[in-house]
Amino acid sequence: MALNWKLVIDTQDAFTLADFWAEALGYEPEDQATLIKGLLAAGHLTEDQVAEHRGRTLFRGFAGIRHPDDPYDERSGIGLGRRLLFQDVPEGKTVKNRLHIDIHGESGDLEGLVSRLEALGASRVTEQDQGPAGHWWVMRDPEGNEFCAS
């Protein structure tokens, strides 16, 4: 039996990192305004637990993005398919990631992909060339998390 899953990424600024990855992957930011409005009205949530970001009401310290072709719950705004959740944590990143995202661009336009990611706030770390296995860049997102672009 296949299981549903989401990838959760610890952050220092969930909203900014979610914006970066939404643009990098072509994903859509989740809009949880309807859910939050209901929770506030019922007294299950307080105003200090929510924040406004780019016209969206979000849970403070949390931001989700989802694949634009996947289903989502219209009541909660939460994606039901390919989804990344960013959550603020008190500690910063200290070592190399044990899990990372690979972004594959159009064949023959690695420089275009890498340049687009840099314009979004990523930085190049090392260029890799593994012969038949291909050519790619190890990069860092705005918070220093490593990922590969090929």
Cβ atoms of 14 and 90 closer than 8 Å:
no
Mean pLDDT in residue range 6-17: 95
Asked whether residue 1 carries a pLDDT value surpassing 70, the answer given is no
Asked whether residue 70 carries a pLDDT value surpassing 90, the answer given is yes
pLDDT band per the 50, 70, 90 thresholds, residue 27: very high
pLDDT 10s digits, 87-142: 999 998 888 888 899 999 988 899 999 999 999 999 999 998 876 667 899 999 99
pLDDT at residue 98, as a whole number: 85
The neighbour count for residue 77, using CB atoms within 10 Å, is 21
Quote the DSSP letter at residue 66. Answer: E
The owner of tokens 């289903």 is 71
* Closest of 146, 135, 129 to residue 104, by C-alpha: 135
The C-alpha atoms of residue 58 and residue 76 are separated, in whole angstroms, by 11
CB-based contacts of 127-135 (< 8 A; 24+ apart in sequence): 135/110
- Largest distance between two CA atoms of the chain: 59
**Which helix H or strand E contains 138, and what residues bound it?**
strand 135-140
Residues paired with residue 8 on neighbouring β-strands, in sequence order: 85
SS3 (DSSP) at 140: strand
pLDDT at residue 5, as a whole number: 82
pLDDT at residue 133, as a whole number: 63
Mean pLDDT in residue range 46-68: 95
Q: What percent of the chain has pLDDT over 90?
A: 78
C-alpha distance from residue 110 to each of 19, 22, 46, 105, 145 (Å)? 22, 19, 46, 7, 20
Mean pLDDT in residue range 72-86: 93
Asked whether residue 3 carries a pLDDT value surpassing 80, the answer given is no
